[in-house]
Structure 1
Amino acid sequence: MTGKIETRLAELGVTLPDAPAPAANYVPFVTIGDMVYVSGQVSADDSGFITGKVGADLTTEQGAAAAKRCAISLLAQLKAACDGDIDRLVRVVKLVGFVNSTADYTEQPKVINGASDFLVEALGDAGRHARSAVSAAALPLGVAVEIEAIFQIK
């Protein structure tokens, strides 16, 4: 039976993928008590990595779309951390977003809004969170965006 969160995601046209495997020597998430710390998820879609530098290769809107893909991967990791029951989510606590952007680019918050807006749209008040949005001179594999998250679960 599909739960409340996955039903809402389906209404938005989103199906959670399998949680991406780590790309190096780390674990995808750590659970301590009622908190789940999810490692940075990079921008990727069904075609592969979403790469490029925002402000040169990508527009703010394209960066925001890449950030939304990161949020989808974060939820996939959360589902794995909850043994498949993503309805254990209480709330999104915090996002830390990194934007691969040019030195003069200043709209990193608008890029990370792609993840924030999606989480609120999908989760309602439980999706509201604290957040950082920072620039990076480069990100692993040349991706446009990487986002890590902290979730509270029951």
Structure 2
Amino acid sequence: SLDFIGFNDDFKEFHPVHKGVFSFEQIRQKPIFLQDGKISFEEWYYFYEDGMSRAILELNNFVYDINAHAFVKLNDLYNTENKKFQNLLHEKLKNTCDECFEDLQNLQFNNNFLLNNGKLKICYLPFEGHFLDENICVEFNEDELKEFKK
């Protein structure tokens, strides 16, 4: 059985609580079973805070290794420190929504990612107060990733 509550501290890192307090309505949780003993989880939920004029649709993705009983970090799988890989991330985010981030060039890889059919999908929330009310996600295909795979 997959007891994520038993991994309480690890789970909090991969399932962050905004500013310590929030309420949400989960609308979907979709597990994607991968051939190498890992499960990618894609969660969609609306996140609310007091004083917000609207709810934010947020994606929280994470990968769990069944055999190791551990959450997988992106830098366990790919060389996220590689400048070429970071530049590719920045280029994809810029092409998707250039005005969504205050300091795009300093944006780093995160662990809000999903693996599916050789693709990597990584998501970010735009800066606070932005008109978009959902995550900005970009995908890398298998050919783009092979150079950075560990």
Normalized per residue, the structure richer in helix is 1
Q: TM-score scaled to structure 1, two decimals?
A: 0.27
Which of structures 1 and 2 has the bigger CA Rg? Answer: 2
Normalized per residue, the structure richer in strand is 2
